[in-house]
Amino acid sequence: MTTSQARAIPEGLASRTRAFIHEHVLPVEEEHDGDVEAAGGDELRVRLQGLAREHGLLAPHAPVDCGGLGLSMTERSPVFQAAGRSLFGPMALHLGAPDEGNVHLLDKVATPAQRERYLRPLATGAIRSAFAMTEPSPGAGADPTRLTTSAERVDGGWVVRGRKRFITGAAGAGMFIVMARTSGEPGERDGATMFLAPGDAPGIVVRRHLRTVDRAMIGGHCEVDFEGLFVPDEDVLGEVDLGFRYAQVRLGPARMTHVMRWLGAATRAHEVAVRYSAEREAFGGRLADLGMAQQLIADNEIDLAATLALLREACDELDADRSAARSTAIAKTFAAEALWRVTDRATQLCGGLGVSADLPVARIARELRPFRIYDGPSEVMRWSIARRAVRTVLAQSDDD
């Protein structure tokens, strides 16, 4: 069930979002160099989301029946890009990972009762969430079929046991979506099930924060143990053993919203660098008039434009309810690498200031680098793209 229809999109939503970010969010990011915990953590989140709600900007992607605007993928792209201009922007508008992806998944799969218990408070920002799939080796990671966390059938529900790692937002999460194996063996492509659980349920233990290069993600990236977590039957999300299929419902759109947000951040880094090079005097003229600087600027313009074009194609397919597996994989892989190149060139253009906290370029580069790993490493994405290409060509040969 989804309720994205029958909504009115406020005029100038993207421009109003950009103005909101500039006035209310960027100053906080700059004061704390993009470190969300130093800036106040959940207290900051609640304050900024309250302001966003007052401005009619909170959770534009969320379904209408839960207070959102129900924007399609294409409609939300410019808004997410505007929010992404600040590292704290997605959190402020409640459209960051993993909450945004979990809202999308619950909107598509949850029962009416699950919508009320889990989706509504998540969509309104009353709680945060976490998606618990990744595990320590030899468990699920880039290969999710290696899933080892297990769920055992008991009277009235299931008991979940296992360890997860790199669970974004786990510290302080009000709810978890947990992937656990209910049949089969690690390496098999079926047999996973999704479970819903309140964040304070007995058996959920957040062990530690993993120290990573990025510092703007509220709730961190954590190691979480599930020590006999009981999940009643009514909190099974979707059908038993079909969890990997439901993961695909979430994965493609979530990859594209990542691209939207990081496109906003990289564009900001590029604009800062262009402005700096246009004002910096060097070697008898403006830095921006030197051929080598112009090449960096031009290459950034090309990478940004190509990223946007691939993003639009993928969003069009998603909005048309097509699988979009190929287009989202290509867009994610290209964007993760192209946007990193943009920030790296921006750093070079800004010289010493490019690696300082005086400009936002260094912290944007710091936060963006993990995107080449999160939600599918570039190498795994290329493997998937290549396999799909081979299958397509062979199928065409059979038809001939």
pLDDT in tens, the chain (400 residues): 344 444 557 779 999 999 999 999 999 999 999 999 999 999 999 999 999 999 999 999 999 999 999 999 999 999 999 999 999 999 999 999 999 999 999 999 999 999 999 999 999 999 999 999 999 999 999 999 999 999 999 999 999 999 999 999 999 999 999 999 999 999 998 999 999 999 999 999 999 999 999 999 999 999 999 999 999 999 999 999 999 999 999 999 999 999 999 999 999 999 999 999 999 999 999 999 999 999 999 999 999 999 999 999 999 999 999 989 999 999 999 999 999 999 999 999 999 999 999 999 999 999 999 999 999 999 999 999 999 999 999 998 777 6
Q: Start-end ranges of CATH 2.40.110.10 in the chain?
A: 129-241
How many Cα atoms are found within 13 Å in the side-chain-facing hemisphere of 44?
24
Q: What is the rounded distance in angstroms from the CA atom of residue 236 to the CA atom of residue 273?
A: 49
Question: Following CA atoms 277, 280, 283, 287 in sequence, which dihedral angle do they give, to the nearest 10 degrees?
Answer: 10
CATH number of 244-399: 1.20.140.10
CATH of region 129-241: 2.40.110.10
The residues, any chain, with a CB within 8 Å of residue 206's CB and separated by 6 or more, are: 170, 171, 222, 223, 224
Closest CA to 230 of 204, 207, 191, 192: 204
DSSP 217: S
Range list for CATH 1.10.540.10 in the chain? 13-123
Give the global pTM: 0.95
User: In sequence order, what are the residues at sequence separation of 6 or more whose Cβ sits closer than 8 angstroms to the Cβ of residue 156?
Assistant: 232, 233
CATH of the structural domain 13-123, one choice from 1.10.540.10, 3.40.30.10, 3.40.50.300, 1.20.1730.10: 1.10.540.10
- Contact call for residues 96 and 140 (beta carbons, < 8 A): no
| Whether 106 contacts 122, CB under 8 Å | yes
Domain with CATH 1.20.140.10 in the chain: 244-399
